[in-house]
Amino acid sequence: MASIYKRTSKSYCIIYYYKNEEGLRKQKWESGYTYRQAKKRKTEIENDLLDHSFILPNQITVRDLIEKVVRVYGCGNWQPKTYETNLTLINNHINPHIGDKMIQTITPMDIESLFVKLLRKNRVRDKSKTLSSATRHNIYIILKQSFTLAVRWKLIKESPIIMRAPQINRKEALFWDAPTMRKALEHLDDEQLHLGVHLAFACTLRIGEVLGLTWDCVDFDNSKIHINKTILKSRKGGT
């Protein structure tokens, strides 16, 4: 029902026939497998054809899938900054490499090959620096979410993301101590900037939380400041 065909010394493809929605017999090639992966996939295809659980090949590309994920999932679950960052990663590092591949032909080897390329790839703005481990990890998360949703939406039977997430090389964060902060405040002449920096240090606020403060946040009677708003930067037209 399905055959394995050797294409290169390390790459194999699977050839099989199926009936489309109109009942017409069609031939399908799936490539990019190792021999072990090809044997496993051959068994899966034959079993699915026998028990009528085979998912028909479609023309959805990785680019199409991720666009749908952004619309259906990203808009409601990603924070504005994450949304903006993810779009940049998709456009610069995912689509140029695998965006035009059909989702049913993507193999674990394709995904691992992508991350080998990303490991050596330079940043878009600074050609002297390679992509950070955090950037590669975020790309992995986007792909993991996308193919997990593709399985849930019954576009594919299983996700090709079986590799482990790239580790993030975390650097020890540096913090100002109280003497350093006092010295910095002594040199700030702008009253609003002085107040903002002072609040950030005394209340451990993020920049967006400082900028989000309004007079209704200040409780003069009880000498309290309520941090209940924040300002997030988002590109124009982002949702």
Q: How far is residue 220 from each of residues 133, 224, 228, measured CA to CA in Å?
A: 46, 7, 16
Burial label, 142 (beta-carbon count in 10 A; 0-12, 13-18, 19+): buried
- Tell me how far the alpha carbon of residue 163 is from its chain's centroid: 14
Instruction: Examine the pLDDT at 239 and tell me if it is beyond 60.
Output: no
The whole-number average pLDDT for the span 190-199 is: 88
pLDDT 10s digits, 154-185: 888 889 999 999 988 877 767 788 888 888 88
Identify residue 110 by its one-letter amino acid code. D
pTM of the model: 0.64
Does residue 69 register a pLDDT over 90?
A: yes
- Dihedral of alpha carbons 62, 63, 65, 70, sign: positive
Strand order in the sheet with 2-6: 2-6, 12-19, 25-33
Per residue in 128-152, pLDDT (tens digit) is 678 889 999 999 999 999 999 999 9
- pLDDT over threshold 70, residue 14: yes
Q: What is the reported pLDDT for 149?
A: 94
Could you tell me what percent of the chain has a pLDDT over 70?
A: 94
Q: Which tens digits make up the pLDDT trace of 97-139?
A: 999 999 988 999 999 999 999 988 877 666 667 888 999 999 9
Among 24-28, 145-149, 202-206, top mean pLDDT goes to: 145-149
Q: Could you tell me which of 61, 169, 54 has the C-alpha nearest to residue 110?
A: 61
What does 179-217 look like in DSSP terms, one character per residue? HHHHHHHHT---HHHHHHHHHHHHTT--HHHHHT--GGG
Looking at residue 124, what is its pLDDT?
67
Range 78-87 average pLDDT? 90
* Cα–Cα–Cα angle for 80, 84, 85, rounded to 5 degrees: 115
pLDDT of residue 233: 67
Q: How does the average pLDDT of the chain come out, rounded?
A: 87
> Dihedrals φ, ψ of 166, to 5°?
-60, 135
